[in-house]
Amino acid sequence: PAVSSGCEKSRKTSLSSVGRSLVCRFLQIQVENCCRLFSGLCKCVCRSFRWRSKGYSDSLFPCRPPRQWTTSTTDSTMPQHYKSQLAALIKVRGQAGFSEYEVLKIFCDVCESLAILHCCQAPVIYRDVKVENVVQNDMGRFILAESGSATARFLNPVAHGKKVVEEEVQKNTSLPYRAPEMVDLNSGHSITTKVDIWAAGVLLYKLCFGTMPFGESSKAILHCQYNIPEKCKYSPELCQLIRFLLEPDP
């Protein structure tokens, strides 16, 4: 298999070569504009998915503003019609996996959930994007469940102290999905909404290949070492999207 490492581009790179899908367009504008959507796209994407006055949304569960997200979601607190979890579906599919259409459908749904958070007046970082936190609602949409990890506070290890940032990272994130700036606090990079973009790339890889790109290895994350099979059933454009998302330089 081909090994992707030593990536030189940043998560600010254009996605113009990937296509015009909503997923690609959303991500392109997210990273090119410091993770804030242009007002035009914001209106387009959020017309059906924006925060309403009472906090209702069909792209997030349980549909409360992030400042009220204080507890972790468990099976006992999830309504019955939100019982279907993406992690369970991946397990059921096994080696057969998903078609490219299914992968993009699921990924697009997750991106719409992130769009709601990232285009708030004070952008919100979900911080714990992973297959275990994606559930399918009764309309068949895949949405981000409440994880208790979301925050509008951007932390910097230099300004706030490495110990403070490390505690936040350990408490609110999962190692396989952590961005390099979360693993190497000596880099001095701030923890922003861009960590969700990296985690979305890990999730997309998991959807495609059924495994984690970096496993539990911090070293692999730091050096951007992961394998994309030379022969796979997915298009070169989809594989390129994974490579784009997993750029180590925020």
**What digits encode the pLDDT tens for the residues 190-219?**
999 999 999 999 999 999 999 999 999 999
Task: Name the pTM for this structure.
Answer: 0.74
Residues 6+ apart with CB under 8 A from 164: 155
Q: What is the mean pLDDT of residues 107-131?
A: 89
- Angle, vertex CA 133, rays to CA 187 and CA 84, nearest 5: 160
Q: In the predicted model, is pLDDT for residue 32 greater than 70? A: no
Residue of 131, 68, 127, 76 whose CA lies nearest to 98: 131
Q: Which residue has the higher pLDDT, 49 or 225?
A: 225
128 is catalytic: yes
Among 64-73, 86-95, 152-161, which is the least confidently predicted range?
64-73
Distance CA 130, CA 107 (A): 11
Q: Which residue has the higher pLDDT, 121 or 13?
A: 121
Q: Are residues 125 and 195 in contact, defined by beta-carbon separation less than 8 angstroms?
A: yes
> For the segment 232-243, what is each residue's pLDDT rounded down to a tens digit?
999 988 898 899
Q: Which residue has the higher pLDDT, 63 or 179?
A: 179
Q: Reply yes or no: is the peptide bond before residue 213 cis, omega within 30 of 0.
A: no
Distance CA 197, CA 203 (A): 10
Query: What are the beta bridge partners of residue 134?
Result: 144
pLDDT at 117: 87
Residue of 29, 24, 61 whose CA lies nearest to 150: 61
Residues 6+ apart with CB under 8 A from 159: none
Q: What is the mean pLDDT of residues 50-54?
A: 34
pLDDT at 24: 52
pLDDT-based confidence at 6, cuts 50/70/90?
very low
Q: Are residues 212 and 225 in contact, defined by beta-carbon separation less than 8 angstroms?
A: no
Write out the two tokens for 15: 């996605």
pLDDT at 31: 47
Domains of the chain: 2-147+156-245 (1.10.510.10)
- Compute how many other C-beta atoms are within 10 angstroms of the C-beta atom of residue 237: 13
Distance CA 153, CA 124 (A): 8
pLDDT at 69: 36
Cα→Cα distances 160→34, 66, 178, 196, Å: 21, 22, 19, 20
* Percent of the chain whose pLDDT exceeds 90: 44
Query: Which position among 58, 109, 128, 184 bears the catalytic label?
Result: 128
Q: In the predicted model, is pLDDT for residue 156 greater than 60? A: yes
pLDDT at 138: 81
Q: In the predicted model, is pLDDT for residue 247 greater than 60? A: yes
pLDDT at 161: 95
pLDDT at 134: 93
Distance CA 11, CA 114 (A): 16
pLDDT-based confidence at 250, cuts 50/70/90?
confident
* Percent of the chain whose pLDDT exceeds 70: 67
Q: Which residue has the higher pLDDT, 148 or 179?
A: 179
Among 43-57, 75-89, 153-167, 183-197, which is the least confidently predicted range?
43-57
Q: Radius of gyration (Cα) for the chain, nearest Å?
A: 17
Q: What is the mean pLDDT of residues 58-82?
A: 41
Mean pLDDT of the chain: 75
Q: To the nearest 10°, report the CA torsion of 189, 228, 205, 211.
A: -110
